[in-house]
């Protein structure tokens, strides 16, 4: 009887210890995730990203100083989704000015419609901002966005949409908010159909979702689809179940990805975000479409009041002393969907 009692007591104590350990592990899961990343993924990630590191010619990193992404204060990144086919340079179909706040895990994403009428840096001319990349690559795109938003761009990151196809398929597809069949049928456009209400969508469907341009919403609608696609991909890739696929994902993206953030800084940033509950808030520049100039070309003209509000918002987000709880996007109080 004593032996049975002792055995029962030992089982109960062992169970209690396991439950307590599990509770401690759950309570400190962020620290454990960061430790796991440091132990098993940090070096492979840095190695995979080495060939993607490409500083801009006229904006080299300051010698001996840590990059903005390696420091603790807020910094900005221009995210560019480039639709380049064959050997062409392509255009930046997606332009998202992003503010990252490593300390409190807040992220601001401001989408700029590709046809926004803007001053193109270095050309003394105004044109669709998507053409800046076609004219002068990421450097001209960065400088043109800086002029438009009156805000610095600390870093850039660009990826060819072709690289997304394999990445999405490797992740097992991504969810997309498609409630009605999307049919591209214009004689001058590539033909495709995307069926609505699927649980997940393949890489090909996701790329077509981004490229679709026959809806009434025009440039604004396409910008919104680009944002939805990128955010869905980010969420899927950052889910814990996809950790083991990170090195393979980076291999798949390969030559399609370029950034001036050093691999070590990117890796450190990933670890930092594992230790912080992060929140993304997004916004798209407001304005209207107009036909302008002697050729009556179609442009998206940003609303001046909205543009100024976005400029003030960016300044607030880049302020390291700003209270994280007070950060929002223009008109957030009037929009239930401002925070994602």
Distance between CA atoms of residues 80 and 160, nearest Å: 8
What's the CATH number where 246 sits?
3.40.630.190
The tokens describing 41, both together, are 């993924």
Q: In terms of pLDDT, which residue wins out, 201 or 334?
A: 201
Say what the pTM is. 0.77
Q: How many domains are contained in the chain? A: 1
pLDDT score, position 17: 43
Q: Does 340 reside within a domain?
A: no
Tell me the CB-side half-sphere exposure of residue 14, using CA atoms within 13 A.
6
Percent of residues, the chain, with pLDDT higher than 90: 35
Confidence at residue 1, expressed as pLDDT on a 0 to 100 scale:
54
Residues 6+ apart with CB under 8 A from 317: 74, 99, 101, 106, 108, 327
The predicted-structure confidence for 277-317, as pLDDT tens digits, reads as follows 668 888 999 999 899 888 889 899 999 999 999 999 999 99
- Average of per-residue pLDDT values in the chain: 79
Examine residue 36 and state whether it is found in any structural domain, yes or no: yes
Asked if residue 70 has pLDDT above 50, the reply is: yes
Residue 20 lies in a domain: yes
In a domain, 339, yes or no: no
Q: Is 79 inside any structural domain?
A: yes
Higher pLDDT, 49 or 229: 229
Greater pLDDT, 276 or 301: 301
Dump pLDDT digits (tens) for 177-198: 999 999 988 776 778 999 999 9
**Structural domain contains residue 161:** yes
pLDDT at 119 over 80: yes
* pLDDT greater than 60 at residue 242: no
Model confidence at 338: pLDDT above 50: no
Residue with tokens 């996701």: 206
């Amino acid at each position: 009887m004593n032996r049975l009692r002792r055995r029962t007591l030992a089982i109960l104590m062992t169970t209690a210890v396991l439950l307590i350990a599990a509770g401690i592990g759950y309570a400190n899961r962020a620290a454990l995730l960061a430790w796991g990343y440091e132990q098993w993924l940090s070096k492979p990630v840095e190695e995979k990203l080495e060939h993607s590191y490409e500083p801009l010619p006229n904006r080299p990193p300051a010698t001996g100083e840590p990059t903005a992404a390696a420091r603790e204060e807020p910094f900005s990144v221009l995210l560019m989704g480039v639709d380049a086919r064959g050997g062409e340079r392509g255009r930046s179909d997606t332009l998202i000015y992003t503010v990252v706040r490593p300390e409190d895990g807040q992220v601001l994403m401001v989408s700029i419609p590709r046809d926004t009428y803007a001053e193109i840096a270095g050309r003394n001319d105004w044109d669709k901002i998507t053409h800046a990349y076609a004219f002068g690559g990421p450097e001209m795109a960065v400088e043109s966005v800086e002029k438009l938003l009156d805000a610095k761009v600390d870093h850039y990151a660009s990826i060819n949409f072709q690289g997304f196809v394999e990445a999405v398929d490797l992740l097992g597809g991504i969810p997309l908010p498609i409630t009605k069949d999307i049919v591209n049928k214009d004689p001058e456009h590539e033909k495709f159909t995307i069926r609505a209400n699927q649980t997940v969508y393949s890489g090909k469907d996701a790329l077509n979702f981004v490229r679709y341009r026959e809806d009434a919403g025009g440039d604004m609608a396409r910008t919104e689809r680009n944002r939805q696609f990128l955010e869905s991909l980010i969420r899927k890739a950052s889910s814990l179940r996809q950790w083991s696929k990170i090195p393979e994902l980076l291999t798949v993206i390969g030559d399609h990805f370029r950034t001036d953030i050093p691999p070590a800084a990117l890796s450190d940033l990933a670890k930092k975000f594992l230790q912080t509950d992060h929140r993304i808030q997004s916004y798209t520049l407001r304005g209207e479409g107009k036909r302008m100039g002697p050729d009556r070309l179609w442009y998206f003209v940003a609303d001046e009041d909205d543009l100024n509000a976005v400029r003030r918002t960016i300044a607030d987000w880049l302020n390291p002393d700003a209270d994280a709880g007070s950060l929002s996007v223009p008109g957030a109080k009037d929009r239930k969907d401002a925070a994602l």
